[in-house]
Structure 1
Amino acid sequence: MQVTETLAEGLKRELKVVIPVKDMAAEMNLKLADAKDKVRINGFRPGKVPMAHLKKVYGRSIMAQLVNDIIQERPTAILSERGEKAATQPQIAMTEDEALADKILAAEADFEFTISYEVIPSFDIMDLSEISVVREVVDVPAEEVDEQVLRVAEGSRTYETKKGKAADGDRVTIDYLGKVDGEAFEGGADQDAELVIGSNRFIPGFEEQLIGLKAGDEKVITVTFPAAYQAAHLAGKEATFDITVKEVAAPGKVEINDELAKSLNLESADKLREVVRSQIESQYGQVTRQKLKRQILDQLDAAHKFDSPSTLVDAEFENIWRQINTELSDSGKTFEDEDTTEEAAREEYRTLAERRVRLGLVLSQIGEKAGIQVSDDELQRSLFEQVRRFPGQEREIYEYFQKTPGAVASLRAPIFEEKTVDHMLGLIKVTDKTVSKEELMADDEAEGSDKAEKPAKKKAAPKKKAAKKDEAEGAAE
């Protein structure tokens, strides 16, 4: 076998592989000899079929299988011998000349094919001990715990039917029908809907107009949907609702005691407070980790500058671009509404894609050197979490991950990434800093994040959502 490099431009490589006809013929003859004692051909005793006849009957099919085996197996071996790792599956090209293909299958011509691919770039990982980050920690005050416990208690509050008019804090049971320009709209009707006045669950201005109504009353109320309402066809529009009040109920007294805790399957009010505190700390902990991770990624990005494989960058950009356009479409907006142009947005998201791919490669090398593995149990738990998000579609989700190439890698990558970050936290310098919840929750875009992830102009939801996505998702494998 002869391997000749015909292209070495940046990260792009192209190899010409030639397997001489004598080698192909020798491989074919070995397989024919192996088949000689196994095949049954009329007119010949087992094991006595002449090789020439075997070649005439089975030669082309055996040669076709040889060709298929070669293009499936040799590229991996060739790249391994060259000490290279392809960024994506190498592209294989063979002759399209039918006459030449027939000669190859007849063992009368050399078998030639080309391998085209991009290599994973070679780079050195920075000294991780040089990374220094600040871990913001919130000391949850007792008052916040009490506020949350009170919300839990209010969620368990009982209501008693009353005959008087509805007041703020009362629960009303209503039938309603919403209309825009006199026409009912989808999702704008319900029966026996329960609504606590003052809960702010409905459109601004809706609940206040229920005050003073009593059971049996009917009323038409008018409201205006918010300009940023999620349903674009309703955003900013005036609507009317035909209301029928079925019941008015007054709230019972809220008491935080052991009886309330036991109704929630907890042994005491103290245990309830303990559970609530743990939940709040967990919520803040997730934000703390994300901000910590962002600092790590920023410093890794600053220390590692190299060209990334365009195939990976193209794929990541397409993922981002598809997400952005879906969000714009769902919100009924355009790039102009976001104070930018499609061309400028493409350039900015392309830079973001390059950053994500580069960080994915860096994290991948750090994790591999640390011997980080993703277990089957971890993959199974991740798959289960995916399935839980789509109740009623469990079978379809399982089949998707079984049949879709790369689907399992999409589960593995974020797990691998998080385990790599955990490994790094044991090597870098971490300084804890106690902050208020307001400081922790403040947008961190102005705290030194990469320019590719900060809007150069005022951009709303689409930009922010894309920037907050895990940067190495799908690229760390």
Structure 2
Amino acid sequence: MQVKETQNEGLARGYQITLTGDELASKVDGKLKEAQPEVEMKGFRKGKVPMALLKKQFGQRLMGEAMQESIDGALSEHLQTSGDRPATQPKIEMENGENWKEGDDVVVNVQYEALPEIPELDLSKIKLERLKVKAGDEQITEALTNLAKNAQNFDDRKKGSKAKDGDQIVIDFKGMVDGEAFEGGAAEDYPLVLGSGSFIPGFEEQLVGVKAGDEVKVEVKFPEEYGAPHLAGKDAIFETTVKAVKAPKEAEIDDELAKKFGADDLDGLKAQISERLEAEYAGASRAVMKRALLDQLDGLVSFDLPQSLVDAEAGQIAHQLWHEENPDVQDHNHDSIEATDEHKKLAERRVRLGLLLADIGQKAEVSVSDQEMTQAVMTAARQYPGQERAFFEFVQQNQQAQQQLRAPIFEDKVVDHIAEGAKVEDKEVSKEDLEKAVEALDEL
């Protein structure tokens, strides 16, 4: 077997691998001899089938296996010797494939881009600022007020009062489509808050102004994208009886409210809120510091980037942004989307930082534990209620899906590792200052 370099320019690599006909024939004969003792064929005892017959029966398939094993072996040996790490799957083409016949040499051309050497960084020279926000009385009071609104009760309005937006009405209803009742379209003593959007569009609006004792026919049309296909786009009439009209009454901010949210008393609830708010502030602060860190890293290093990775990332960015601008298009049946110079510039930053963080993480032996992966899968599965098991099975069988979940965990752990070695100065700021810093973050 011969391996000849055909390209070595920047990160681009090219090699020509030649397997002689004799080498392939010898490899095939070796496979046949290895298999011969176990082969049974009509007219011959086990292990006594002649080599010529075995070659006629299995030779062509074994020739393909021998070619693949030889090429894979040669490429693996080359990568181990050279130290190259292909940025993407190497492109392998058989030069004389169309005219090749048994006995001929096999000539294969291999092309790939090697991952670049990443320069060493002194992480201790990185300086970061961590914004600190304390949960003040104003923020805690605001959160308590919101909790009281969510825990509101409803009191009966004066007899004859008309229902207003935000009121709760208690109703019996029965839905009809094409004159027939449908499953799930009826209920008794149903508490509906007007303006909550609990029912299909147009339903609640028609009940504003009703009084207890009123009987109303609510005429609506099910959305075209309604979850039940047999009702999607259909006109419906709901025969509705109003049994009560109730006005909202905010819960008192006291120990009873605290108990509704799992605290022993109001002071305990305030402590819980303070802890939750400061955790939220810390998360926002971390996002700001992470961006500052990435900006510093991006300015500290420079190395060649595999064009294949940049092109793929730019294409993905362009495609994602196009779909954000065209939310009505759910599938990918659209014209090709060309990446702009802005997309390519952003792609270069992402690829550069991705390679750098991967290198730092590898050298620091950063890893994602099974427990962290399980938690990530469980969190992602919540986005598919009722289909969690199917999602778990999909992830188990899909390496790409696993990598998509693992990558952000790995990146965050590398960022934490870098921050541990950097000079970090805490700075106390207001909630408003933190919000401004978060708003200033550009999408990456």
TM category (shorter chain) comes to: 0.7 to 0.9
C-alpha separation in 2, matches of 1:209 and 1:84: 70
Q: Go from structure 1 to structure 2 and tell me whether the alpha carbon gap of 1:208 and 1:43 turns closer, same or farther (over 3 Å shift).
A: closer
Q: Mean alpha-carbon deviation: is it higher for 147-156 or for 284-293? A: 147-156
Per-residue Cα deviation, 1:262-301 (whole angstroms, up to 9, x for no partner) = 2223322222112111211121111111001001100000
Would you say 1:427 and 2:421 are equivalent positions? yes
Q: 1:64 aligns to what?
A: 64
Q: 1:129 aligns to what?
A: 124
Aligned ranges 1:226-375 → 2 under 5 Å = 246=242, 247-252=244-249, 254-330=251-327, 346-375=340-369
SS at match of 2:263: coil
Compute the displacement of 1:331 (Å): 7.7
SS at match of 1:406: helix
C-alpha separation in 2, matches of 1:123 and 1:13: 18
| One-letter code aligned to 2:355 | L
| One-letter code aligned to 1:21 | G
Q: 2:230 aligns to what?
A: none
Per-residue Cα deviation, 1:123-174 (whole angstroms, up to 9, x for no partner) = 2132111110100010110221122122112211211111365699962449
Q: 1:159 aligns to what?
A: 154
Would you say 1:381 and 2:378 are equivalent positions? no
C-alpha separation in 2, matches of 1:125 and 1:44: 66
C-alpha separation in 1, matches of 2:255 and 2:438: 41
SS at match of 2:109: strand
How many residue pairs match? The answer is 395
Q: 2:4 aligns to what?
A: 4
Aligned ranges 1:395-434 → 2 under 5 Å = 395-434=389-428
Compute the displacement of 1:248 (Å): 3.6
Task: Name which of 103, 111, 116 aligns with 2:106.
Answer: 111
User: Which sections of structure 1, spanning at least 5 residues, go unmatched?
Assistant: 176-190, 202-206, 220-243, 333-341, 454-466, 469-477
C-alpha separation in 1, matches of 2:426 and 2:241: 54
Compute the displacement of 1:212 (Å): 8.2
Task: Name which of 127, 142, 151 aligns with 2:137.
Answer: 142
| One-letter code aligned to 1:13 | R
Q: Does the 8 A contact of 2:305 with 2:351 survive in 1?
A: yes
SS at match of 1:289: helix
Q: 1:78 aligns to what?
A: 78
Q: Does the 8 A contact of 2:96 with 2:106 survive in 1?
A: no
C-alpha separation in 2, matches of 1:69 and 1:79: 15
Per-residue Cα deviation, 1:225-249 (whole angstroms, up to 9, x for no partner) = xxxxxxxxxxxxxxxxxxx995542
Compute the displacement of 1:370 (Å): 0.1
TM-score, length-scaled by structure 1: 0.73
Q: 1:393 aligns to what?
A: 387
SS at match of 1:391: coil
| One-letter code aligned to 2:93 | A
Compute the displacement of 1:422 (Å): 1.1
Aligned ranges 1:15-26 → 2 under 5 Å = 15-26=15-26
Compute the displacement of 1:322 (Å): 1.6
| One-letter code aligned to 2:352 | R
Q: Does the 8 A contact of 2:154 with 2:246 survive in 1?
A: yes
C-alpha separation in 2, matches of 1:349 and 1:146: 44
Q: Go from structure 1 to structure 2 and tell me whether the alpha carbon gap of 1:170 and 1:11 turns closer, same or farther (over 3 Å shift).
A: closer
SS at match of 2:349: helix
Q: Does the 8 A contact of 1:86 with 1:118 survive in 2?
A: yes
Compute the displacement of 1:302 (Å): 0.4
Q: Does the 8 A contact of 2:313 with 2:347 survive in 1?
A: yes
SS at match of 1:17: strand
Compute the displacement of 1:209 (Å): 13
C-alpha separation in 2, matches of 1:312 and 1:266: 52
SS at match of 1:293: helix
Q: Go from structure 1 to structure 2 and tell me whether the alpha carbon gap of 1:217 and 1:131 turns closer, same or farther (over 3 Å shift).
A: farther
Q: 2:50 aligns to what?
A: 50
Q: Go from structure 1 to structure 2 and tell me whether the alpha carbon gap of 1:267 and 1:193 turns closer, same or farther (over 3 Å shift).
A: closer
C-alpha separation in 2, matches of 1:297 and 1:245: 61
Per-residue Cα deviation, 1:204-230 (whole angstroms, up to 9, x for no partner) = xxx9999988557899xxxxxxxxxxx
C-alpha separation in 2, matches of 1:277 and 1:73: 61
SS at match of 1:5: strand
C-alpha separation in 2, matches of 1:62 and 1:326: 48
User: Which sections of structure 2, spanning at least 5 residues, go unmatched?
Assistant: 172-186, 199-203, 217-239, 330-336
C-alpha separation in 2, matches of 1:193 and 1:347: 55
Q: 1:338 aligns to what?
A: none
SS at match of 1:383: helix
Q: Does the 8 A contact of 1:125 with 1:362 survive in 2?
A: no
SS at match of 2:421: coil
Q: Go from structure 1 to structure 2 and tell me whether the alpha carbon gap of 1:200 and 1:21 turns closer, same or farther (over 3 Å shift).
A: closer
| One-letter code aligned to 1:47 | G
SS at match of 1:37: helix
Compute the displacement of 1:323 (Å): 1.5
Q: CA RMSD in A?
A: 3.5
Q: Go from structure 1 to structure 2 and tell me whether the alpha carbon gap of 1:314 and 1:245 turns closer, same or farther (over 3 Å shift).
A: farther
C-alpha separation in 1, matches of 2:258 and 2:21: 82
Q: Go from structure 1 to structure 2 and tell me whether the alpha carbon gap of 1:20 and 1:200 turns closer, same or farther (over 3 Å shift).
A: closer
C-alpha separation in 2, matches of 1:298 and 1:33: 61
C-alpha separation in 2, matches of 1:302 and 1:14: 32
